[in-house]
């Protein structure tokens, strides 16, 4: 099915099941422990051996000598695989560095060996016996030091071939002439995905065929890159990932656990399971790279922006890509004269890549502080300033309208619900004994582009009237099982209890996969397309004109006839397969999601301790397919935003080139006690230009802007402006107002 004209009325608009707050259909399996994760697949490989990965002890250089004799002779050891005996390996298209290092080392904790043994403890003990002599080389580990050598990235880096630089009008001249100007620099640190389930894989060879049960967000990408790395035909590789314990972008691509499990299983001649240790997850897999961002805004005394410029610097390994932190600035606010630019420095740190709304999340951490600072200079309310500079067209291409843009409504709705009119000037509201707690409110706009991707599905109907959905789509904890079941149930006129969903297997039709906020909308549209084909097949077999066919209550009706779906399917059943392919509507119209984040904080005037007290998100993101699962995504993203604002940072050892705090003891993330009451409002919206379901993505919108809302609230509470994330108490203490 080609989606190249706006959606009109269709069966989804009944909203009998779609759009309702349904419980997750995979919930019972998750809560009873019967949902199998990759490392736990005892049912498919009862005699699996254990692999432990050894990571490189240098960040750059060569392995001069590696001695594995003691490890090979250790009790229980079945095999030790290194680059010396692994055979010729390729590299996946989506990997920046080779997944198995040696003799060249590209980054710290790059995998250099896997030890396979009967028991995990034996493999771990033997791995410690491997002796490696390195010839280290000097590397670049500081973005600040490498900034001046940074270069514009290739034009095709970033989503949709995002250009490294854009200019409209005369930014430099307009900025110089502006009556009110802001020129500030903001920094965001390296951050880790830190998902609960580690990168883990079970690998099984049957002759020359390889099957891996793994934790991966993008099944088809992973299958292709695994085949490419091992030099196998794609049809010899099967990748299965029905349940994933968190991904956040860190499991979009093939990682070392998959390759090392496959190599270990080949060498040992039996199934092998590998789970990356937490330190290797943080230094071996991808992370969000640090950014340096310079933002310049010029405005008239009336508050209208006349010039806006945003430059961002980030780093990655040779051949890597930038953090696209200027993405939202190209679209969020009006301003006749504009400039955005990205520069990429070569750093010898572990690979940087997609994490929790890449681009917009760190970009808004800077931009939405800058917008607040500009409002303060203009002596305007920060919401009023944002509303004044709202636009209904792409600011860089004014002849290109937004398909839907309700940013203003999000901000006004949030202001009323949050009690924004009670906000006081910075440093003036105190509570508690002796006025110990400084109280402040902050706001930030939320923005995330709406991306779509072709996605296929197969739908089966059996003689019991049960509808089975099959697609390689993944569920990373976001509710894919449920919204795909809701889509099929709505389309076929059955209850949710009559739908079975099979996901996460490369033997199934290729879907959009989970990532970039494109997964739910795109994959549900693929199921919609397959259901349209199945409805036609059912109507034909029932002798009913498909234009007149009504699917409801497990029946198909039309032309004076009424038949149960099971009766029509018969003993052999019916099946249909199709995919959604998107035309150029997203090029004719700018498709984006919008929101407003509101936050109230209390800051201890003695210690600088920050407590988040209230949070509100107002989202405009097309049709919400399931308000319950969507809310869960948004409050989870808001929690991540608090982490980014107050605590999350990978600290770089600039002598040795690695992340020092590479575990969950040193890498801090919010705990339950850190997160207060969270409220989410979804505006009633449909976007017929986005998909047949008139939906968009929403999960990543929930993080975009949160950190800045927290930072702005801290400033409102204390009068202290921090432009270097995370906002820890040591950065606040020296400038805090004295207790009352």
pLDDT in tens, 600-609: 999 999 999 9
Query: Is there a catalytic annotation at residue 581?
Result: no
Give the list of residues 6+ apart from residue 684 with CB closer than 8 angstroms, or none: none
Binned at pLDDT 50, 70 and 90, residue 740 comes out as low
Beta strand segments in 68-208, E: 77-82, 104-105, 111-117, 131-136, 165-168, 180-188, 200-206
d(C-alpha 264, C-alpha 113), whole Å = 9
Report the pLDDT averaged over residues 426-445.
96
Q: What is the pLDDT of residues 441-500, one digit of tens each?
A: 999 999 999 999 999 999 999 999 999 999 999 999 999 999 999 999 999 999 999 999
d(C-alpha 276, C-alpha 544), whole Å = 56
For the chain, give the number of residues.
740
For residue 59, the 8-state DSSP code is S
Instruction: Look at residues 256, 239, 225 and name the one whose alpha carbon lies nearest to residue 52.
Output: 256
Give the list of residues 6+ apart from residue 690 with CB closer than 8 angstroms, or none: 403, 450, 452, 521, 585, 586, 591, 622, 696
Binned at pLDDT 50, 70 and 90, residue 739 comes out as confident
Q: Lowest mean pLDDT: which of 84-93, 146-155, 438-447, 453-462?
A: 146-155
- Taken in order 377, 381, 383, 388, the sign of the CA dihedral is negative
d(C-alpha 32, C-alpha 566), whole Å = 31
Q: CB burial class (10 A; 0-12, 13-18, 19+) of residue 21? A: exposed
- Quickly list DSSP for 260-284: HHHHHHHHHTS-EEEE--HHHHHHH
Binned at pLDDT 50, 70 and 90, residue 159 comes out as very low
Binned at pLDDT 50, 70 and 90, residue 523 comes out as very high
Binned at pLDDT 50, 70 and 90, residue 158 comes out as very low
Note the pTM of the prediction, 2 decimals.
0.98
Higher-confidence residue: 76 or 739? 76
Q: Answer yes or no: is pLDDT of 697 > 70.
A: yes
For residue 153, the 8-state DSSP code is P
Report the pLDDT averaged over residues 694-723.
98
Report the pLDDT averaged over residues 7-33.
97
Q: Answer yes or no: is pLDDT of 327 > 80.
A: yes
What Å distances lie between residue 455 and 132, 218, 236, 356, CA to CA? 46, 12, 22, 22
Token representation of residue 268: 């040992």
Displacement of CA 339 from its chain's centroid (Å): 27
Q: Is the peptide bond between 492 and the residue preceding it cis, with omega within 30 degrees of 0?
A: no
Q: Answer yes or no: is pLDDT of 106 > 90.
A: yes
Mean pLDDT, the chain, whole residue set: 97
Instruction: Determine the pLDDT at residue 520.
Output: 98
- Quickly list DSSP for 527-591: HHHHHHHHHHHHHHHHT--TTT-EEETTEEEETTEEEEHHHHHTTT-EEEEEEEEE-SHHHHSB-
| 8 Å CB contact between 117 and 123 | yes
Report the pLDDT averaged over residues 243-258.
97
d(C-alpha 177, C-alpha 306), whole Å = 9
Q: What are phi and psi of 268, to 5 degrees?
A: -85, -15
What Å distances lie between residue 578 and 492, 525, 653, CA to CA? 15, 10, 51
Give the list of residues 6+ apart from residue 156 with CB closer than 8 angstroms, or none: none
Q: CB burial class (10 A; 0-12, 13-18, 19+) of residue 378? A: buried
Give the list of residues 6+ apart from residue 7 with CB closer than 8 angstroms, or none: 688, 689, 691, 692, 693, 694
Instruction: Look at residues 494, 451, 457 and name the one whose alpha carbon lies nearest to residue 622.
Output: 451
Report the pLDDT averaged over residues 530-538.
98
d(C-alpha 450, C-alpha 452), whole Å = 7
d(C-alpha 557, C-alpha 410), whole Å = 42
| 8 Å CB contact between 534 and 459 | yes
Residues above pLDDT 90, as percent of the chain: 98
d(C-alpha 175, C-alpha 350), whole Å = 38
Q: Domain 2-35+452-583's class? A: alpha beta
In the set 490, 648, 685, 700, the catalytic residue is 700
Higher-confidence residue: 718 or 161? 718
Binned at pLDDT 50, 70 and 90, residue 160 comes out as low
Beta-carbon count within 10 A of 680 CB? 21
Binned at pLDDT 50, 70 and 90, residue 513 comes out as very high
Q: Rounded to the nearest 10 degrees, what angle do helices 627-646 and 360-378 cross at?
A: 70
Query: H-helix or E-strand containing 416?
Result: helix 407-418
| 8 Å CB contact between 396 and 334 | no
d(C-alpha 324, C-alpha 153), whole Å = 10
Q: Answer yes or no: is pLDDT of 317 > 60.
A: yes
Report the pLDDT averaged over residues 330-341.
98
Instruction: Determine the pLDDT at residue 606.
Output: 94
Report the pLDDT averaged over residues 541-560.
97
Q: What value does the CA radius of gyration of the chain take, rounded to a whole number of Å?
A: 27
Binned at pLDDT 50, 70 and 90, residue 118 comes out as very high
| 8 Å CB contact between 439 and 431 | yes
Q: What are phi and psi of 306, to 5 degrees?
A: -105, -25
Token representation of residue 662: 């590479």
Binned at pLDDT 50, 70 and 90, residue 431 comes out as very high
């Amino acid at each position: 099915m080609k989606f190249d004209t706006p959606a009109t009325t269709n069966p989804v608009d009944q909203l009998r099941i779609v759009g309702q707050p349904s419980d997750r259909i995979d919930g019972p399996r998750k809560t009873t422990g019967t949902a199998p994760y990759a490392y736990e697949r005892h049912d498919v490989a009862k005699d699996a051996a254990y692999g432990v990965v050894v990571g490189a002890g240098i960040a750059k250089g060569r392995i001069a000598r590696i001695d594995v004799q003691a490890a090979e002779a250790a009790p229980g050891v079945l095999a030790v695989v290194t680059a010396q005996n692994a055979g010729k390996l390729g590299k996946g298209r989506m990997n920046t560095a080779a997944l198995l290092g040696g003799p060249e080392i590209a980054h710290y904790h790059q995998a250099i060996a896997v030890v396979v043994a009967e028991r995990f403890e034996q493999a771990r003990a033997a791995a410690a016996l491997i002796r490696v002599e390195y010839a280290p080389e000097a590397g670049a580990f500081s973005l600040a030091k490498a900034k001046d050598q940074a270069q514009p990235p290739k034009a095709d880096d970033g989503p949709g071939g995002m250009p490294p630089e854009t200019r409209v009008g005369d930014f430099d001249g307009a900025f110089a002439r502006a009556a009110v100007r802001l020129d500030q620099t903001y920094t965001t640190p390296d951050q880790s995905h830190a998902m609960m389930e580690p990168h883990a894989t079970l690998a099984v060879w049957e002759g020359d065929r390889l099957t891996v049960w793994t934790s991966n967000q993008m099944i088809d990408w992973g299958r292709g890159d695994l085949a490419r790395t091992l030099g196998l035909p794609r049809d010899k590789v099967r990748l299965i990932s029905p349940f994933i314990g968190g991904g956040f972008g860190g499991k979009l691509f093939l990682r070392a656990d998959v390759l090392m499990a496959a190599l270990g299983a080949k060498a040992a001649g039996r199934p092998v399971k590998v789970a990356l240790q937490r330190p290797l997850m943080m230094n071996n897999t991808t992370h969000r790279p640090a950014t340096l961002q310079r933002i310049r805004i010029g405005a008239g005394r009336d508050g209208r922006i006349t010039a806006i410029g945003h430059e961002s610097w980030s780093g990655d390994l040779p051949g890597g890509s930038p953090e696209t932190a200027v993405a939202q600035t190209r679209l969020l606010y009006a301003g006749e004269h504009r400039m955005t630019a990205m520069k990429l420095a070569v750093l010898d740190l572990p690979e940087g890549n997609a994490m929790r709304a890449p681009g917009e999340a760190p970009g808004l951490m800077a931009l939405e502080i800058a917008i607040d600072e500009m409002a303060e200079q203009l002596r305007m309310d920060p919401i009023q300033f944002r509303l004044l500079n709202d636009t209904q067209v792409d600011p860089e291409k004014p002849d290109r309208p937004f398909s839907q843009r309700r940013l203003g409504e999000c901000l006004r709705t949030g202001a009323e619900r949050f009690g924004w009119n009670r906000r006081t000037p910075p440093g003036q509201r105190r509570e508690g004994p002796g006025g110990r707690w400084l109280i402040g409110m902050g706001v930030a706009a939320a923005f995330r582009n709406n991306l779509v991707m072709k996605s296929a599905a197969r739908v089966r109907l059996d003689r019991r009237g049960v509808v089975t959905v099959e697609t390689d789509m993944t569920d990373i904890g976001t509710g894919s099982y449920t919204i795909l079941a809701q889509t099929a149930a709505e389309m076929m006129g059955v209850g949710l209890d009559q739908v079975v969903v099979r996901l996460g297997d490369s033997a199934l039709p290729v879907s959009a996969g989970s990532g970039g906020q494109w997964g739910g909308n795109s994959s549900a549209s693929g199921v919609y397309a397959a259901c349209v084909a199945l409805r036609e097949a059912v109507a034909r077999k029932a002798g009913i004109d498909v234009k007149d066919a009504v699917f409801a209550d497990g029946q198909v009706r039309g032309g004076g006839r009424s038949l149960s779906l099971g009766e029509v399917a018969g003993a052999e059943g019916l099946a249909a397969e199709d995919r959604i392919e998107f035309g150029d509507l997203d090029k004719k119209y700018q498709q984006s999601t919008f929101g407003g984040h509101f936050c109230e904080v209390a800051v201890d005037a003695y210690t600088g301790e920050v407590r988040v007290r209230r949070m509100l998100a107002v989202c405009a993101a097309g049709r919400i397919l399931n308000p319950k699962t969507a809310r869960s995504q948004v409050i989870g993203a808001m929690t991540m935003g608090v982490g980014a604002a107050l605590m999350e940072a990978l600290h770089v050892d600039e002598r040795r080139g690695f992340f020092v705090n590479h575990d969950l003891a040193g890498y801090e993330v919010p705990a339950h006690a850190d997160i207060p009451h969270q409220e989410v409002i979804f505006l009633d919206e449909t976007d017929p230009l986005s998909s047949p379901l008139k939906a968009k993505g929403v999960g990543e919108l929930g993080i975009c802007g949160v950190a800045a809302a927290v930072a702005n609230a801290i400033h409102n509470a204390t009068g202290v402006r921090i432009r270097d994330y995370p906002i820890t108490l040591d950065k606040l203490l020296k400038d805090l107002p004295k207790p009352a």
